[in-house]
Amino acid sequence: MFVGRKKELTLLEESYSSQQSALVVIYGRRRIGKSRLIHHFAHKKSSKFLFEAVENQNTQAQIKHFAADLGRQIKDSLLSKVVFSSWEEIFDYFTEKVVKRKNRQQKLIISFDEIQWMAVNRSKLISILKYFYDNHWKEHNVMLILCGSIASFMITKIVNSNALYGRITTEIALQGLRPDEAVQFFDKRKSHDEIMRYLLVFGTVPKYLEQIRQDRSFHWNVNALCFSSHAIMMNEVERIFYSHFRETEGYLSIVEYLRSHIATHKEISKAVKIPSGGGLTRYLTTLKQAEIIRSFVPFGKKQTSTLRKYMLSDEFLIFYYKYMKESEDIIENSSVEDVFETVTAGSFDVWLGFAFERFCIKHALFLASKMGFGRKVLTFGSYFEKKSEGFQIDLLYKRTDKIIVVCEIKYHSREISKKVLMEVDRKVALLSIPRGYSVQTALISLYGPDSALRAKKGFDYYLSLDDIIS
């Protein structure tokens, strides 16, 4: 099932329809749908060669695999028997056999998927590809796609590499689906409330959503996917970190600290004992690009402020650290089928409330577009005040038209009454509003306002669950 990705497909089609050759880089975390995007884009194109590397193999094994794959695509079974000694040798063959083919009418798509495995996490292959692209492929109307997981290799060796400087025509950092796209994975008979619970546990990662059985309940699915001895999600954290990032321990130490802290760069450095210079910055940047963490600057501070805070934002990792990691022994040794109900008893509804708040902050730009001011957002984030009259604003937008939007987020199983107005009015009164700015308010909840609150017109904007995922 292919869902969403309209913006990314448009970018790919524009590169494809260009009169010149194109070099496209696609990167993103595991399970996010990079390969599916490429195959969906290319499936009706007549001139294409799509290659995917194999994990944990040396250069010679990668070359052998590439040769066999090429043989299948050009229908030459003997090619798998040929021994190529280097990438230069097989690219010379590929150039003569495929790229320079004279009767080709359309742009030739060449895709190297999991390029970091193909390169064995070294930069030599990228330099070789640069040479062939510059000297043998670019003049033959080629669209070269380099695709890989969001690790330091993709950023340092490809996106920011000297070898490819000025040559990349399109860069796509693939992220999770929008909520209204993710809902398409679910049976229409499922309620929006149940769908939201899935999104709060698994996020909008396509591969996770594909595992959900539509003919089963929420509790059945979570038990089967997360709380049984053979649950496929039990090893997902290991897959994310050990096959996704180099220097795994450093990344894990940051994530495990942020599971229970919202912290500044300096505080993280002190806690995980990683120097606060470029090393930690690189770790944090890579985790942000993978949508595992997010950062925000406190309201009223500059984007360069040292008070910028970092927090864990990946829905599944938050759920894993809260319930699964602490229950590994129970999961391994239990013979009952409802471990999820046992380990979450009395706390899951409260957890859902906090998870819904984090979800709204993560998708703040999407929610702003639903409220009609998406293009006007300058900054957004939570607001905390720790003085004597301490308070918290769940989500606050600062807009280009000099309006501050104060959002109240409620995960209640009923419509919201006008009692909420006193709470919101207090926060607005205590908030230091920049000179020249006006204030508006928004209520984001599961079921919207009750009739009395709506009649009172206490908020400028209302967003309900139906608005968010319909």
229-254 pLDDT, tens digit each: 788 998 898 888 876 777 788 899 99
286-337 pLDDT, tens digit each: 899 888 999 988 777 777 787 889 999 999 999 999 999 888 878 777 666 7
Q: Is residue 394 part of a domain?
A: yes
Q: Is residue 264 part of a domain?
A: yes
> Domain check: are 331 and 267 in the same one?
yes
Structural Rg of the chain based on CA atoms: 25
User: How much is the pLDDT for 407?
Assistant: 97
pTM of the predicted structure, to 2 decimals: 0.90
> Domain check: are 112 and 216 in the same one?
no
Question: Which CATH number belongs to the domain containing residue 161 in this structure?
Answer: 3.40.50.300
Q: Average pLDDT for residues 206-234, to the nearest whole number?
A: 93
CA distance 359 to 373: 19
> Domain check: are 423 and 337 in the same one?
no
Question: Across all residues in the chain, what is the average pLDDT?
Answer: 91
User: How much is the pLDDT for 429?
Assistant: 92
Question: Which CATH number belongs to the domain containing residue 439 in this structure?
Answer: 3.40.1350.10
User: How much is the pLDDT for 389?
Assistant: 63
Which residues constitute the domain of residue 80?
A: 6-173
Q: Among 142, 173, 204, give the residue marking a domain's end.
A: 173
User: How much is the pLDDT for 467?
Assistant: 95
User: How much is the pLDDT for 230?
Assistant: 83
Total domain count, the chain: 3
Q: Among 362, 381, 405, give the residue marking a domain's end.
A: 362
User: How much is the pLDDT for 103?
Assistant: 79
- pLDDT of 359 above 60: yes
- pLDDT of 388 above 60: no
User: How much is the pLDDT for 235?
Assistant: 87
Q: Is residue 1 part of a domain?
A: no
User: How much is the pLDDT for 306?
Assistant: 79
> Domain check: are 164 and 300 in the same one?
no
> Domain check: are 14 and 133 in the same one?
yes
> Domain check: are 211 and 109 in the same one?
no
User: How much is the pLDDT for 336?
Assistant: 65
33-63 pLDDT, tens digit each: 999 999 999 999 999 999 999 988 999 999 9
Q: Is residue 358 part of a domain?
A: yes
> Domain check: are 409 and 280 in the same one?
no
- pLDDT of 418 above 80: yes
> Domain check: are 59 and 148 in the same one?
yes
Q: Is residue 281 part of a domain?
A: yes
Q: Among 362, 394, 428, give the residue marking a domain's end.
A: 362
170-208 pLDDT, tens digit each: 999 999 999 999 999 999 999 999 999 999 999 999 999
> Domain check: are 342 and 393 in the same one?
no
> Domain check: are 259 and 355 in the same one?
yes
Confidence class for position 387, pLDDT limits 50, 70, 90:
low
> Domain check: are 213 and 311 in the same one?
yes
Confidence class for position 155, pLDDT limits 50, 70, 90:
confident
Question: Which CATH number belongs to the domain containing residue 191 in this structure?
Answer: 1.10.10.10
